[in-house]
Structure formats: C-alpha cells, structure tokens
Amino acid sequence: MEDFKFYHHVLTTALPSLPFGGHRVWWQVAATAHHHAHLGHALLALGASHLSQHGAGDYTVQALCHRLDAIRLLAGALDAEPKTAVDADALFAATYCLMSQSCLMPRDGMAEYMTFMRGASLVMTTILPEFPDSIFAEFARHAIVASLALAAPEEPEDDETIMSREESVKRLKRFWQNSAEWEH
C-alpha cells in the first residue's frame, strides 16, 4: 500500500517542476509507468523521498530500494534502443525523476544530481530527436531556448562581451567527457 501512497504523492505534490506548467506532460508520462518498470520505480523513488522530507514519515529505505531498482532497470532500457516515442519518453522521464530525487537524498545528492543531469541531457540530445512525436520534444526545444534567454537576456552590443562569453564556454570544455557534450 505504501507504493500507492508514493505514486499518489508524486502525481499530486512532487512532480518535477520543469517544464514550467508541464504537469500535463508528467501526468501523461506517469500514466505509462505500468509499461516501463524503470519509470515506475523512478516515480516511486521520487514520491518516497519527497514524502520523507515533507511528510509525516520516514521512507528513505523504500526510496533507496526503488531508486536502485530504477537505476538497474534504466541501465537495461538504455542498452535496448527505444522503438517508440513512448519508450524514449519513459527513458527521459525516469532519468529526470532520478535527477530530481537526487536533490532530496540525505547525503551526497549533488554527485548523483550531476550524474543524472548528464544522463537526462544525453537522452534529450541523442534519443529524443529521433522521435519527433515525443511528448518531451517541445519541452526540449523550450528548455534550450529558455536557458539561452536566461543566460543572455539581451544581445551584447560590443565585441568584447561576445568574446568574453565565448571564452567562458570554451573554459567549460575541460569538464565535458565526450564530443557529444561539446556539440550540445
């Protein structure tokens, strides 16, 4: 019965906050969890962690068990290429839920967050583009545009500012692990 509590909590309180106003996207994704075990466990892990921090009980053991199951199943799902947009959506959503849950973990969540942020970015840039009917396709486009708008709200007027921004991006290159990260 606890799993029902975790699932209900995710749907009513703990859905990932991005994209802004994207609850309908997440509700659609959650409705497919019964076909994708990695997504189901990721949602349950997120719900259990969120309840542990904001509820009346301690569900950290259950959250960790669901997280480990989600990670194991997600690794297998990533090895098999997604055949449909729904499969690709489940991969991205599971990765994104695990990333969100990392913020709620009691210890060392930042390293986990960065790992799953890279995973979500990789799925978004390499797998989702193969499925234009993905429910996250629009999310991906809006997320990129929104992040660029926040980073540079107005166009620079002088060459020095442009060169400075370009140099900043180049300095980040040492943190990237492969050419796909540099390209995106």
Q: Give the pLDDT means over successive 10-residue stretches in the chain (184 positions).
A: 94 81 85 96 96 91 97 95 94 94 84 88 88 82 56 65 75 62 51
As a whole number of angstroms, the distance between CA 100 and CA 79 comes to 23
Q: For the chain, give the longest Cα–Cα distance.
A: 61
| C-beta of residue 164 within 8 angstroms of C-beta of residue 39 | no
Task: Note the pLDDT of residue 92.
Answer: 94
> What pLDDT sits at residue 30?
92
Tokens of 85: 């947009």
Do residues 119 and 88 lie in contact, with contact meaning Cβ atoms separated by under 8 Å? no
pLDDT for 161 equals 75
Instruction: Quote the DSSP letter at residue 152.
Output: -
User: What does the DSSP 8-state code read for residue 129?
Assistant: G
* Helix/strand/coil (H/E/C) assignment for every residue in 36-61: CHHHHHHHHHHHHHHHHHHCCCCCHH
The Cα–Cα gap between 60 and 105 comes to: 8
According to the model, what pLDDT value does residue 2 have? 93
pLDDT value for 16 = 85
What pTM did the predictor assign?
0.75
> What is the C-alpha separation between 60 and 85, in angstroms, rounded?
32
Distance (Å, whole) CA 127 – CA 12: 29
3-class state of residue 150 by DSSP:
helix
